[in-house]
């Protein structure tokens, strides 16, 4: 039987007057972690006491599922199958039987119905992908966008698993393949599911998405999906909940990644406040908490048109945030947007990042630089500002700051990686500098309207790339 639902329409309490984005640098390390060029839609981690090696799973858009051993630094990704399937969600189900624990990756799909495909969930059993979507209605639930499950170990009964898509949430036993209705928001979509993994007996699960009039909804169940309470955060217009993260020690503290902001409740959803990250052009599809410090939050997503990387971290429970610069790609290109973030539960300050076109990345924050509050200072001692004005016509100014004397090279490229101009190529002292681009190519001819990249290199090493828009006025 479908669970009962209680609805609350909420106006934001304690709205912040402005963004609080500046905070101490953390000297983090960002590095490629494989699957280059692939559109990775979701990540999941298998980590528990009786598993000898932590495993990272990645679901891609039409290129299959992959697995990597995190305990072996030099290991690569192993393909597990499902190539050609449009994978949209991934969960790692973990359950126990006596002294042993077991796990299985489960993926959600948007089937290619025109090609005769209709399976919306597969489960990996004994090296084979098995259809596991019995009971899911069609066409009411024609794709699965979110999966989550309660972990259980030892002699605990297996906890329930959940699948969300369209405006529905369905529930099953962790090891089962038969699903039953748990919750419906009516016309709409379910984008996110998250369970309170620390306390199996609490039975707390959160869901979020967008309803039929493009308003965000967030729902909570405290009895393993039996009954639900629905909250309608008022973000003043079209919006959606795309990701959810729950405080491991305080399940009433929950963060939600929205369109343009990360919001927070500390009272189980009764009221919601903006965090310091708001009024951005970002769809926040990835949200996770550091395994060693739940006040350390990572929020990532994408900026549309073009699909662009956006990643932030907060060390103070969302009060202030620092942007984590996109990776520098060679040849120069806009780093693809983020679709999923998971934390490594065995490595403090470590996360894995899925992107929509540039594979998987690994990021580890450095220790917080307590007392260093120089606004705008990036972890490795330089600062590259957004060009002003942007968009521009016919010229724009680029400012940057050096922590020490370096040989500086500042170049402009088009989106094909062709160099348009070299603005700076010399050794410069520490301090603030600026360069001007007049919107012309290397031959001195006016560049066409469009998106361009400017790249800063220090001592022959590229360290930052930003994009800018040249827009000619007819």
> Going residue by residue through the chain (474 aa), what tens digit of pLDDT does each one get?
445 666 665 655 433 333 344 444 455 899 999 999 999 999 999 976 556 668 999 999 999 999 999 988 788 999 999 999 999 999 999 887 766 778 899 999 999 999 999 999 999 999 999 999 999 999 999 999 999 999 877 667 678 999 999 999 999 976 667 899 999 999 999 999 999 976 556 789 999 999 999 999 999 999 999 999 999 998 877 799 999 999 988 889 999 999 999 999 999 999 999 999 999 999 999 999 998 888 999 999 999 888 899 999 998 899 999 999 999 888 888 899 999 999 998 788 899 999 999 999 999 987 643 223 233 334 345 678 778 887 888 889 998 888 788 999 999 998 777 889 999 999 999 888 999 999 999 889 999 988 888 988 888 877 777 888 888 765
Asked which of 301, 329, 364 is the last residue of a domain, the reply is 364
Does residue 164 sit in the same domain as residue 120? yes
CATH code where residue 346 lies: 2.130.10.10
Q: Assess if residue 188 is contained within a domain.
A: yes
Q: What is the pLDDT of residue 384?
A: 80
Does residue 62 sit in the same domain as residue 96? yes
- Determine which helix (DSSP H) or strand (DSSP E) holds 308, and give its type and residue range: strand 308-314
Q: What is the pLDDT of residue 9?
A: 57
Does residue 244 sit in the same domain as residue 331? yes
Domain count, the chain: 2
CA distance 56 to 58: 7
Does residue 183 sit in the same domain as residue 275? yes
Q: Assess if residue 107 is contained within a domain.
A: yes
CA distance 39 to 81: 15
CATH code where residue 437 lies: 2.60.40.1930
Q: Assess if residue 50 is contained within a domain.
A: yes
Q: Assess if residue 1 is contained within a domain.
A: no
Asked which of 309, 333, 364 is the last residue of a domain, the reply is 364
Does residue 354 sit in the same domain as residue 389? no
Q: Assess if residue 17 is contained within a domain.
A: no
- Which domain, by its residues, includes 437? 383-470
Q: What is the pLDDT of residue 236?
A: 76
CA distance 5 to 462: 53
Q: What is the pLDDT of residue 371?
A: 27
Q: What is the pLDDT of residue 20?
A: 44
Does residue 214 sit in the same domain as residue 171? yes
Does residue 328 sit in the same domain as residue 452? no
Does residue 392 sit in the same domain as residue 336? no
Q: Assess if residue 13 is contained within a domain.
A: no
Does residue 339 sit in the same domain as residue 459? no
**374: which residues sit within 8 A by CB, 6+ positions away?**
none
Does residue 271 sit in the same domain as residue 404? no
Does residue 335 sit in the same domain as residue 431? no
Q: What is the pLDDT of residue 13?
A: 43
Does residue 350 sit in the same domain as residue 388? no
Which residue has tokens 């020690």?
249
Contact 180, 141 (CB under 8 A): no
Contact 286, 354 (CB under 8 A): yes
Q: Assess if residue 372 is contained within a domain.
A: no
Q: Assess if residue 444 is contained within a domain.
A: yes
Of 456, 9, 13, 468, which Cα lies nearest the Cα of 211? 9
3-state secondary structure of 159: coil
Asked which of 337, 364, 391 is the last residue of a domain, the reply is 364
Of 240, 270, 238, which Cα lies nearest the Cα of 254? 270
């Amino acid at each position: 039987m479908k669970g009962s639902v209680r609805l609350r329409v909420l106006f934001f309490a304690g709205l912040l007057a402005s963004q609080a984005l500046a905070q101490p640098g953390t000297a983090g390390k960002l590095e490629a972690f494989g699957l280059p060029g692939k559109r990775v839609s979701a990540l999941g981690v298998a980590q528990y006491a009786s598993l000898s090696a932590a495993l990272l799973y990645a679901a891609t858009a039409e290129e299959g599922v992959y697995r990597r051993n995190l305990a072996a630094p030099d290991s690569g990704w192993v393909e597990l199958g499902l190539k050609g399937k449009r994978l949209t969600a991934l969960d790692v189900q973990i359950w126990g039987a006596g002294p042993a624990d077991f796990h299985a990756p489960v993926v959600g799909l948007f089937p290619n119905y025109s090609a005769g495909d209709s399976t919306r969930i597969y489960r990996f059993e004994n090296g084979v992908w098995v259809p596991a979507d019995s009971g899911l209605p069609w066409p009411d639930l024609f794709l699965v966008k979110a999966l989550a499950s309660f972990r259980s170990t030892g002699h605990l009964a297996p906890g329930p698993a959940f699948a969300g898509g369209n405006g529905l949430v369905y529930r099953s036993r962790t090891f089962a393949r038969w699903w039953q209705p748990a919750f419906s928001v009516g016309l709409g979509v379910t984008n996110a599911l998250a369970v309170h993994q620390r306390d199996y007996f609490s039975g707390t699960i959160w869901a979020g998405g967008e309803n039929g009039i493009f308003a965000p909804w967030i729902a909570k169940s405290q009895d393993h999906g039996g009954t639900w309470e629905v909250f309608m955060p008022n973000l003043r217009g079209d919006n959606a909940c795309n990701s959810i993260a729950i405080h491991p020690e305080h399940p009433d503290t929950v963060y939600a990644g929205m369109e343009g902001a990360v919001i927070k409740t500390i009272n189980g959803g009764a009221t919601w406040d903006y965090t310091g990250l708001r009024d951005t052009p970002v769809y926040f599809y990835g949200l996770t908490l550091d395994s060693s410090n739940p006040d350390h939050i990572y929020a990532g997503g994408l900026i549309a048109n073009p699909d662009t990387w956006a990643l932030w971290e907060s060390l103070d429970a969302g009060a202030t945030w620092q942007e984590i610069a996109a990776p520098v790609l060679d040849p120069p290109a806009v780093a693809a947007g983020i679709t999923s973030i998971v934390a490594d539960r065995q490595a403090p300050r470590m996360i894995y990042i899925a992107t929509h076109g540039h594979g998987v990345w690994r990021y580890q924050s450095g220790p917080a630089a307590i007392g260093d509050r120089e606004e705008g200072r990036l972890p490795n001692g330089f600062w590259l500002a957004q060009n002003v004005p942007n968009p521009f016509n016919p010229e724009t100014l680029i400012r940057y700051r050096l922590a020490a004397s370096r040989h500086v090279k500042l170049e402009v490229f088009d989106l094909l990686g062709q160099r348009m101009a070299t603005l700076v190529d010399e050794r410069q002292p520490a301090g603030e500098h600026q360069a001007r681009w007049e919107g012309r190519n290397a031959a001195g001819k006016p560049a066409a309207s469009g998106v361009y990249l400017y790249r800063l290199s220090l001592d022959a090493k590229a360290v930052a790339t930003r994009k800018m828009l040249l827009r000619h006025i007819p």
